[in-house]
Amino acid sequence: MNEALKPDEVTERAAPAPVAPTIEPATVETAPPRRRNWLLWIVIVAALAAAAVYAWKRYESAAPSAKSEESSGRPAQPPQTVRVAPAVLGDMPLTIDALGTVTPFETVTIRTQIAGTLQSVAFTEGQTVKAGDFLAQIDPRPYEAALAQAQGQLAKDQALLGQAQGDLARFQQLAKQDSIAMQQVADQAALVAQDKAAIAADQAMVKTAELNVAYTHIVSPVTGRVGLRLVDPGNYLQPSDANGIVVITQIDPISVVFTTPESNLPRISARLNSGVKLPVTVLDRDNVHALTTGTLTTFDSQIDVTTGTIKMRSTFDNPNGVLFPNQFVNVRLLVDTMTGATLAPNPAIQLGASGNFVYLLNDNSTVSKRDVVIGPTDGKHTVITSGLAAGDKVVIDGVDRLRDGAKVKVVGNPPTAGAQATAGQGLEQGKEGSAAGSANGDGQHHRHRRDQSGAGEGSPAPGAAGGSSNQPAPAGNQPARVGPTGQSAPPAAATPGAGQ
């Protein structure tokens, strides 16, 4: 069955096997795409190289022109448009702001002192009553009967005392004549003493009964405002009732209790001990409108160790009921006043690496950076203890692109303080923006950018309340300026050469 094969035939049959007909087409199809990819990469690299060479030549050609403009005295960019304001001499009030609660001096819950039926009430809810005014009536009949009984017992004992005293007088006369024994006289004297003690007890019972009758007629113990009635006539009342009949709260005068950090106590205590009356102003919940003005009365005897604060009480006349019990208010305590201080507008104060500074306007329309030391501040001005003098003009708007020695162009200030306050909050009125844009030749608002040479390094100091429009925002999130209609104006293209 197994046929023997010759070696020549085995060689002829095995020789064609390694040559597969599918190998040659695969090799022919993969070669062209590789060549095309290499050509594409070569073209891209060549294009990038050409672009880099072109950009380098442009940079080299622009540098000599910039140097020639600088050497010829022409500015690289137009002067920065700014607004300035002078530092002035004035008074700075030293105030302490706190949160307070309106607290009445007297709050009384009217309760019955005896048990009985509430017959009537004589007040109207919300009425203002005076001390001694009639409020409610408890059924007095049981207590009137008890009073009559006590008075009858008193009269009986008084009669017995009179009889005993008469007998004692006769016995004493007979004892002088040796007609009766002295023991009988002594017994009659003891009986008289007993009757006197009974009369004293009867008198106490009468007073107690009279007092109970008086308790049935309930009157107001204080002057104040009556609240809502808590019980209706016809109910049986007892002294143990928790709610009572009505609550009366003193409205005028009234106090406000507030807390302040313990670090303020030495100054306040020293002023009070010197006999000075410290004025206190109460503002509404929104801290906008002043409600009334009073004086600081006293402070607590202990500091709260959990909060490090101390309670203080101020007194206010409240004839119109502006302050209401438990009302939440803002308190402003005037501790002292700095007189003759150098005051600078809050938007002018900037904070840099070296501390607080301002940009001072020079006579040659340039600005110079001036380091300052600040003191107390309010909503508009900051005290300058060192670095400025009265009359020095400082930049209050447009400082974000300034640097020491920069050229500036001063534009007019707004006519009202309200516009300046708006600029201090980071918003520029459309009228001012148009004037600034006209001075720059483009008539549009610009978003300012910091340049690499140190322009705009300042930011408003923490002590300068209100801020200013030159306060730097985080990168990529500059606030847009506001146009005349209150809408954000679109940012214009940056001036060529600015910030480069």
Please give the pLDDT value at position 464.
Answer: 41
Angle between the 141-176 and 182-215 helix axes, to the nearest 10 degrees?
Answer: 160
CA 448, CA 434: separation in Å to the nearest integer?
A: 16
Lowest mean pLDDT among 182-191, 298-307, 440-449: 440-449
Q: Please say if the pLDDT value at position 452 is more than 50.
A: no
Specify the CATH number for 80-92+341-460; select among 2.40.420.20, 3.90.550.10, 1.10.260.40, 3.30.1330.10. 2.40.420.20
* pLDDT band, very low/low/confident/very high, at 52 (cuts 50, 70, 90): confident
Which of 19-33, 75-89, 134-148 has the highest average model confidence (pLDDT)? 134-148
DSSP string across 174-227: HHHTT-S-HHHHHHHHHHHHHHHHHHHHHHHHHHHHHHHHHHTEEE-SS-EEE-
Q: Which of 42-51, 307-316, 406-415, 444-453 has the lowest mean pLDDT?
A: 444-453
Largest CA distance in the chain: 192
At 149, is the secondary structure helix, strand, or coil? helix
For residue 358, CA distances in Å to 3, 81, 270, 454 come to 113, 16, 35, 15
Average of per-residue pLDDT across 97-113: 94
Is the pLDDT confidence value at 485 over 50? no
For 395-463, the DSSP string reads EEESGGG--TT-BEEE-PPPSSHHHHHHHHTT---HHHHHHHHHHHTS-S-------TTSTT--EE-TT
pLDDT of residue 35: 62
pLDDT score recorded for residue 414: 54
Average pLDDT, the chain: 77
Residue 50, pLDDT score: 86
Residue 98: strand, helix, or coil = strand
- 109-127 per-position pLDDT tens digit: 999 999 999 999 999 999 9
More confident of the two residues 43 and 147: 147
Q: Which two tokens stand for residue 418?
A: 């309200």
Quote the pLDDT of residue 300: 94
Q: Give the model's confidence band at 465: pLDDT under 50 very low, under 70 low, under 90 confident, else very high.
A: very low
Task: Name the pairing type of β-strands 393-397 and 80-86.
Answer: antiparallel
Q: What number does CATH give the domain 96-105+249-337?
A: 2.40.30.170
Specify the higher pLDDT residue, 206 or 353: 206
Residue 98 confidence (pLDDT) above 50: yes
| Count of C-beta atoms within a 10 Å radius of residue 328 | 10
For residues 219 and 180, the model is more confident at: 219
**The tokens of 35 are what?**
């060549």
Residue 30 is predicted with a pLDDT of 46
Write down the pLDDT at residue 378: 85
Query: How would residue 499 be classed by pLDDT, with cut points 50, 70 and 90?
Result: very low
Q: What pLDDT shows up at residue 263?
A: 92
Q: What is the pLDDT of residue 38?
A: 76
Structure confidence at residue 181 (pLDDT): 86
For the stretch 245-297, pLDDT in tens is 999 999 999 999 999 999 999 999 999 999 899 999 999 988 889 999 999 99
Kindly state the DSSP code that residue 479 receives in the 8-state scheme.
P
The pLDDT of residue 210 is above 60: yes
Q: So what's the pLDDT on residue 73?
A: 52
> Is the domain defined by 109-243 classed in CATH 3.40.50.1000?
no
For residue 15, name the pLDDT band (cuts at 50, 70, 90): very low
Supply the pLDDT for residue 222: 94
What average pLDDT does range 38-63 have in this prediction? Answer: 79
Q: Quick one: average pLDDT of 329-358? A: 91
**Is the per-residue pLDDT at 241 higher than 50?**
yes
pLDDT of 487 > 50? The answer is no
* Residue % of the chain over a pLDDT of 90: 50
Tell me the domain boundaries of the chain. Answer: 80-92+341-460, 96-105+249-337, 109-243
DSSP letters for 385-406: EES--TT-EEEEESGGG--TT-
pLDDT, mean of residues 223-248 = 93
Q: Give bridge partners of residue 324 from the DSSP assignment.
A: none
Residue 375 scores a pLDDT above 60: yes
374: left (phi over 0), alpha (psi -120 to 50) or beta: beta
